[in-house]
Amino acid sequence: MIKILSYCFYDITRGYWISIYLSFYLFLGFGLLFLNNDISSAIITLMNIVIYLVPFISLIFGLTYYYSSREFTELLLVQPLKRKTIVLGQFLGVSICLSLSLVFGLSIPFFLVGAYNIENIFDLFVLIVLGCFLTFIFTSISYIISIMNDNKIRGLGYSILIWLFLSVIYDGFLMSFLIYFEQYPLEKISLAFVLLNPIDLARTLMILNLDISALLGYTGALYKIYFGTFNGIIVSSIILFIWLLAPVILMLRIFKKKDF
Amino acid sequence: MNRFGFFILFIIIIFSSKKLYSKNIKVCSTCEFKSLEMAIESSCNYDSIIVEKGIYKEFNIIISKPLTIFGKGTPTIDGNYRGEIFEITSENVTIEGFNIINVGESFKNDNAAIRIKNSKNVTIKNNFFENIFFGIYLEKSSFCKIYNNSVTGKATEELYSGNGIHLWHCKNILIENNIIKNVRDGIYLEFSNQCNVINNISQNNLRYGLHFMFSNDDTYRKNNFQNNGSGVAVMFSRNIEMLDNVFQENWGSASYGLLIKEINDSKITNNVFLKNTLGVNMEGSNRISFKGNDFIKNGWAIRVRGASYSNSIVKNNFINNTFDISYNGNINKNLLHKNYWSKYNGYDINKDGIGDLPHRPVSLFSYVVNKSPGAILLIRSLFALILDFSERAYPIFTPTYLIDNEPSINKSE
């Protein structure tokens, strides 16, 4: 598996798409930090971009990598190798590459510009960790889609649909739900809704760490209590891990059964 | 003798007459008078009592005649947590240069470091107050001056703490250059008219930096309110002028920079509201003019609750607030005019400094949040962004009457 992973890793890092991805973050980081003298608002802007862009790029990149290396995968399948190792190796290669460019792309500008304090470093750390989680989650989802669909166009369509659903449509439903049932105590239900969507979960976790969390005010006090306490952190990280593992397991099962 | 000589003679006579009738009494550990209380007892009207450096454990000192009490080298009066320290019941008293500490807590008497009762022309200056319950408490007094004091409390809970400077049924009081920290309300005015609160710093207080109740015709300017439970609360009052103040970092889940409730005919001019959760919260207030204020990086710059009529918001700067204005109910003759909005994305072709397109300060998301507060959960989400963008391009839901028809392109000074 390590061999496949490292091959996949080198293959991706040699290509220029990943360097575009990395340089995009570098450019963004430097630009925001130079243009914006307030670090915490730069982090908020970064959050807005990272939380939505990372899932999209992971989906598309995972999809194209799977489709373009399809012949190589078939070649590997002929070898006496477990199917599990092949798909896991490729998946990890892609997601580690994407995560690394996220990590370097965001942290290098911060440490080079140098205007930071402990609190900002912690915020940035949380942002990067959440970004990596999202990368892994959405790369595995893209693998599921591409394994299930041999048709590239259909695969692309499904992944854009999933991204659109989780990042926009879901929130739309949530908002209309909150407005429609505003007479009822909705805190716990909306908390459950937030936990069910990885993008919302990441956004809420990030906001609660930043000082705009004060805007949540009385209505958001429950979230603050929930996510702020030790139990809340444990539960939300368990759910993030479930979000990480469930698609991977699904991906392995589908790949095992697939008839090439 | 010429006129100048007469003048000199006159001055000499005045000074010598004062010397003749009023004497200086010294208090120190080796003097005739070892305690302030003894010195006050044997003093006559208009005497000066000079207290030398040292620690004096005294409490419930009652001053019932006009005296000047001066601390040389900031002597400490330690109340030992046993009661009040000074009670002034006479007119024309000055207390200057003391370090007054350890006032006893009492929920029956509201113990204060200095209580001024039914008095006039009292001056309290250059004192330090520490570990106090109430700091300076004025009751039914007028024409008093309180300046250059530093008041530091130890408030941890609203119920069990007192106010820094407390005015009750007072008139014409000047409160200037004081620093007030860690009490419940920094400065509290109740039924107090024609008072001036100038150039004070009020910070880290549990409830409000400055609190008005049923007080009319007062002015406060050039004060700094920082990191209080809420900056300033003005309630049930009229004709209040608020000029050149800074309200900053009153940040928390229920914090205001300025809370206006049931007040009329007031002016809010040239203030700075920086990083408050809610810059101004307005409720049931009429004919208030906001002019030349800067609202910077607040959660909400101005939130207008119900029953507010004929207010004008003119030539203010709204810069980088999460929500600029949030509104309940009808516009009620409230006016938005020539403000600078950092969110304005119109243009100015004829270069007259006024945007050619009107600006709508209420975004759809803030409108939704106002209707159902739970929706704040979606803050900073892509959906909210798209919602705002589409609404701005083609307004349907946001109130059409809430509009600045001549938004300024440049920040007004």
Task: Give the rounded percent of residues in chain A with a pLDDT score beyond 70.
Answer: 94
Comparing A125-139, A229-243, B247-261, B264-278, the range with the smallest average pLDDT is: A229-243
**Is residue A215's pLDDT more than 80?**
no
| Identity of the residue in B254, B378, B386 whose CB atom sits nearest the CB atom of A218 | B254
Comparing B10-14, B56-60, B145-149, B216-220, the range with the smallest average pLDDT is: B10-14
Name the average pLDDT for chain B. Answer: 89
B342 close contact with A: CB closer than 8 A: no
| Identity of the residue in B299, B375, B377 whose CB atom sits nearest the CB atom of A194 | B377
Residue pair B169/B193 in contact (Cβ under 8 Å)? The answer is no
**Is residue A241's pLDDT more than 70?**
yes
Residue pair A127/A45 in contact (Cβ under 8 Å)? The answer is no
Residue B24 gets the label, from left (phi > 0), alpha (psi -120 to 50) or beta, of beta
CA distance A83 to chain B (A): 38
- Rounded Cα distance between B210 and B371, Å, is 31
- Rounded Cα distance between B39 and B265, Å, is 49
- Rounded Cα distance between B32 and B355, Å, is 77
**Is residue B268's pLDDT more than 90?**
yes
Instruction: Please tell me what DSSP assigns to residue A260.
Output: -
Per-residue model confidence (pLDDT) at position B297: 87
- Rounded Cα distance between A192 and B139, Å, is 55
Comparing A19-23, B3-7, B61-65, B141-145, the range with the smallest average pLDDT is: B3-7
Q: Is A214–B382 a contact, with Cβ atoms under 8 angstroms apart?
A: no
- Rounded Cα distance between A29 and B57, Å, is 62
Q: All domains of chain B, ordered by start, with CATH?
A: 22-228 (2.160.20.10), 234-362+398-413 (no CATH)
Neighbours of A36 (CB within 10 A): 14
Q: What is the pLDDT of residues A71-127, one digit of tens each?
A: 989 998 898 888 899 999 999 999 999 999 999 999 898 888 776 677 788 888 989
B384 close contact with A: CB closer than 8 A: yes
**Is residue A258's pLDDT more than 80?**
yes
**Is residue A192's pLDDT more than 90?**
no
CA distance B66 to chain A (A): 51
Average pLDDT on A138-151 reads 94
Q: How confident is the model at residue B16 (pLDDT cuts 50, 70, 90)?
A: low
Per-residue model confidence (pLDDT) at position B93: 94
Taking the CA of residue B332 as centre, how many other CA atoms within 13 Å lie in the half-sphere pointing to its CB? 18
**Is residue B44's pLDDT more than 60?**
yes
Q: Is B371–A179 a contact, with Cβ atoms under 8 angstroms apart?
A: yes
Query: B210, B226, B217, B188: which is closest to B259 by C-alpha?
Result: B210
Per-residue model confidence (pLDDT) at position B213: 93
Query: What ipTM did this prediction achieve?
Result: 0.85
Comparing B111-120, B275-284, B373-382, the range with the smallest average pLDDT is: B373-382
Residue pair B65/B90 in contact (Cβ under 8 Å)? The answer is yes
Query: B321, B365, B327, B328: which is closest to B343 by C-alpha?
Result: B321
Q: Is B380–A171 a contact, with Cβ atoms under 8 angstroms apart?
A: no
- All residues at 6 or more sequence positions from B266 whose CB lies less than 8 Å from its CB, including other chains: B234, B237, B238, B239, B240, B241, B242, B260, B285, B287, B288, B289
Give bridge partners of residue B189 from the DSSP assignment: B167, B212
Average pLDDT on B224-246 reads 92
Query: B245, B281, B286, B280: which is closest to B265 by C-alpha?
Result: B286
Q: Is A171–B254 a contact, with Cβ atoms under 8 angstroms apart?
A: no
Q: Is A182–B378 a contact, with Cβ atoms under 8 angstroms apart?
A: no
**Is residue B11's pLDDT more than 70?**
no
Instruction: Identify which has the larger pLDDT, A4 or A23.
Output: A23
For residue B210, CA distances in Å to B111, B130, B153, B245 come to: 20, 19, 15, 11
Three-state DSSP state, A248:
helix
B276 close contact with A: CB closer than 8 A: no
**Is residue B365's pLDDT more than 90?**
no
Instruction: Please tell me what DSSP assigns to residue A183.
Output: T
CA distance B26 to chain A (A): 54
Residue owning tokens 């892509």? B382
Q: According to the 3-state scheme, what is the secondary structure of chain B? A: CCHHHHHHHHHHHHHHHHHHHCCEEEECCCCCECCHHHHHHCCCCCEEEEECCCEEECCCEEECCCEEEEECCCCEEECCCCCCCEEECCCCCEEECCEEECCCCCCCCCCEEEEEECCECCEEECCEEEEECEEEEEECCECCEEECCEEEECCCCHHHCCCCEEEECCECCEEECCEEECCCCCEEEECCECCEEECCEEECCCCEEEEEECCCCCEEECCEEECCCEEEEEECCECCEEECCEEECCCCCCCEEEEEECCEEEEEECCEEECCCEEEEEECCEEEEEECCEEECCCEEEEECCCCCCCEEECCEEECCCEEEEECCCCCCCEEECCEECCCCCCCCCCCCECCCCECCCCHHHHHHHHCHHHHHHCCCHHHHHHHHHHHHCCCCCCCCCCECCCECCCCC
Average pLDDT on B201-230 reads 92
Residue pair B134/B168 in contact (Cβ under 8 Å)? The answer is no
**DSSP per-residue letters across A210-241:** SGGGGGGTTTTHHHHHHHHSHHHHHHHHHHHH
Query: A191, A39, A187, A189: which is closest to A127 by C-alpha?
Result: A39
Per-residue model confidence (pLDDT) at position A61: 94
Query: Angle at the Cα of B167 (from B165 to B171), degrees rounded to 5?
Result: 130
Q: How many A-B residue pairs are in contact by the CB < 8 A criterion?
A: 85
Q: Which residues of A touch B (CB under 8 A)?
A: 41, 44, 47-48, 52, 167-168, 171-172, 174-175, 178-179, 182, 186-187, 190, 194, 200, 203-204, 207, 211-212, 214-221, 223-224
Per-residue model confidence (pLDDT) at position A57: 95
Q: Is B253–A217 a contact, with Cβ atoms under 8 angstroms apart?
A: yes
By DSSP bridging, strand B47-51 and strand B67-71 are parallel
To 10 degrees, the CA torsion angle through B217, B218, B222, B223?
-150
Per-residue model confidence (pLDDT) at position B21: 64
For residue B269, CA distances in Å to A80, B185, B272, B327, B404 come to: 81, 23, 9, 21, 19
| Identity of the residue in B253, B297, B378 whose CB atom sits nearest the CB atom of A221 | B253
Q: How confident is the model at residue B239 (pLDDT cuts 50, 70, 90)?
A: very high
| B365 → chain A, closest CA residue | A175
- For residue A253, the surrounding DSSP H or E stretch is helix A230-257
**Is residue A136's pLDDT more than 70?**
yes
Token pair, residue B25, equals 């009494």
Average pLDDT on B212-225 reads 94
Name the average pLDDT for chain A. Answer: 87
Per-residue model confidence (pLDDT) at position B196: 94
Window 277-306 of B, Cβ < 8 Å to A = 277, 297, 299
Q: Is A214–B374 a contact, with Cβ atoms under 8 angstroms apart?
A: no
Per-residue model confidence (pLDDT) at position B32: 86
Q: What is the pLDDT of residues B26-35, one digit of tens each?
A: 888 888 888 8
Token pair, residue A175, equals 């908002």
Per-residue model confidence (pLDDT) at position A228: 67
Per-residue model confidence (pLDDT) at position A167: 93
Task: Give the rounded percent of residues in chain B with a pLDDT score beyond 90.
Answer: 54
Q: At what angle do helices A198-209 and A39-68 cross, to 10 degrees?
A: 160
